[in-house]
Amino acid sequence: MDEHIYYQSLARFDKIGPVRLRTLLKSFPNLEHIWNASALELRQAGLSEQVSAEFAAWRRDQNLEQQWTELQREGINVLTWNDPAYPVRLKQIHDLPHTLFIRGTLPQNDFNLAVVGTRMVTTYGRQVAEQIVAPLARAGLTIVSGLALGIDAIAHDTTLREGGTTIAVLGGGCDRASIYPTSNRALAERIVERGGALISEYPPKTLAMPFHFPNRNRIISGMSRGTLVIEAAEDSGSLITATHALEQNREVFAVPGDITRDTSKGPNNLLKMGAHPVFSAEDILEHLNLQELKATAEARKIVPDDPTEAKILDALRGDAIHIDELIRATAFDAAKLSSTLTLMEMKGKVRHIGGMHYVLAH
């Protein structure tokens, strides 16, 4: 049986996490052997008597085939820490999840930046988030956040609007019924539809519980080159993400805020502790390996198949553009432009991002 089936089921038993699993794997060759081991064998391998007994009793009620079928029905893939596609930077942290549930497409590069902040966003916070995230998305960075209200949602939405790729790391299941907050379910579906991913270490049908979010935050920072904090109270969960980033030896960035606002205390304190101050997207890009990013962008350049495509691609070099503006820019009639755009979308050269707006595919 595929070992992924055992991993996804083990992820449903919260008393065997990455540390205990590593201990067990010193005595057993793989997860199938762990799954079939007796309670005595599990104790001899390092589990406590109570956890061994609980696991042996719990697994009797697990229908592995049914669980696997449900994952396939939801379009959820299972990625384990043994898989080559497992996020390379996340693999470097000490408490990496042994299993990730993924709905959507996980980018096969590690040009990730975490963007987090308060749910109680101000007008200033919204303006700054959009102003900084938009050029980062256009530059080719994948924006990672937590799908929460406020800064998280703005970061995801801005990235999608710019035709970029974004990843949401969840504190509950990534199946449609478990998406939290429910008001961001439509945003979650857009992330998947536009080539991004929803990620969770929690299996489907897991509710987003308060104690899940600190764990979730280590994944947000762990799979990213750096974490940007935009507006956060002194006790904000965003600061937990920043703390994880520091512990993981990753860059921490912060946008200075109005000293009279509670939501400025978090980033301002980070700045006092040595975080990189951010006034524009360039401040972040210069601290990242931009040369490597440019090389990837060059390799990703889209080549036209004919003069018609060339003219359309030239018109799409900037921000998202409405089809009416494309008609004016290219001087093509609506029928010709529409049919060519359809073909180019099928070839993966352009992307329709809604409302008859088009961008270059990334």
160 and 359 Cβ atoms separated by less than 8 Å: no
Q: Say if residue 287 is in the same domain as residue 312.
A: no
pLDDT of residue 293: 61
pLDDT of residue 259: 87
Q: What's 336's domain CATH number?
A: 1.10.10.10
How far is it, in rounded angstroms, from Cα 144 to Cα 231? 16
> Within a domain: residue 93?
no
Query: What's the predicted TM-score (pTM) here?
Result: 0.79
| Residues 277-294, mean pLDDT to the nearest whole number | 80
Q: Could you tell me which of 302, 298, 288 has the C-alpha nearest to residue 143?
A: 288
**Model pLDDT for residues 110-142, shown as the tens digit of each residue:** 899 999 999 999 999 999 999 999 999 988 999
User: Residue 67 — very low, low, confident or very high, per pLDDT cuts 50/70/90?
Assistant: very high
Higher pLDDT, 270 or 147: 147
pLDDT of residue 350: 85
DSSP string, 156-197: HHHHHHTT--EEEE-SS--SGGG-SSGGGHHHHHHHHHTT-E
Q: Say if residue 25 is in the same domain as residue 157.
A: no
> Within a domain: residue 97?
no
How far is it, in rounded angstroms, from Cα 157 to Cα 183? 13
Statement: residue 275 has pLDDT above 80: yes
> Within a domain: residue 328?
yes
Q: Say if residue 196 is in the same domain as residue 272.
A: yes
Statement: residue 352 has pLDDT above 60: yes
Statement: residue 100 has pLDDT above 60: yes
Statement: residue 297 has pLDDT above 70: no
Q: Look at residues 292, 324, 349 and tell me which one is the last residue of a structural domain.
A: 292
pLDDT of residue 290: 59
pLDDT of residue 23: 92
pLDDT of residue 237: 79
261-285 CB burial, b ≥16 within 10 A, e <16: eebbbbbbbbbeeebbebeebeebb
Q: Which helix (H) or strand (E) holds 315?
A: helix 307-315
| Residues 164-193, mean pLDDT to the nearest whole number | 96
**Does residue 63 sit in helix, strand or coil?**
coil
Q: What is the mean pLDDT of the chain?
A: 89
pLDDT of residue 296: 53
Range of the domain at 313: 307-360
Statement: residue 295 has pLDDT above 70: no
DSSP H helical ranges for 101-142: 123-139
How far is it, in rounded angstroms, from Cα 74 to Cα 204? 9
CB neighbourhood size of 334 (10 A)? 11
Q: Which helix (H) or strand (E) holds 142?
A: strand 142-145
218 and 95 Cβ atoms separated by less than 8 Å: yes
Q: Flag the least confident range among 97-101, 189-193, 212-216, 352-356.
A: 352-356
Statement: residue 289 has pLDDT above 60: yes
Statement: residue 300 has pLDDT above 70: no
Q: Say if residue 172 is in the same domain as residue 243.
A: yes
Q: Say if residue 137 is in the same domain as residue 7.
A: no
pLDDT of residue 101: 98
Statement: residue 235 has pLDDT above 80: no
**Structurally, how many domains does the chain consist of?**
3
Statement: residue 25 has pLDDT above 90: yes
**Does residue 328 sit in helix, strand or coil?**
helix
The identity of residue 244, as a single letter, is H
| Residues 336-352, mean pLDDT to the nearest whole number | 84
178-207 CB burial, b ≥16 within 10 A, e <16: bbbeeebeebbebbbebbbbbbbbbbbebe
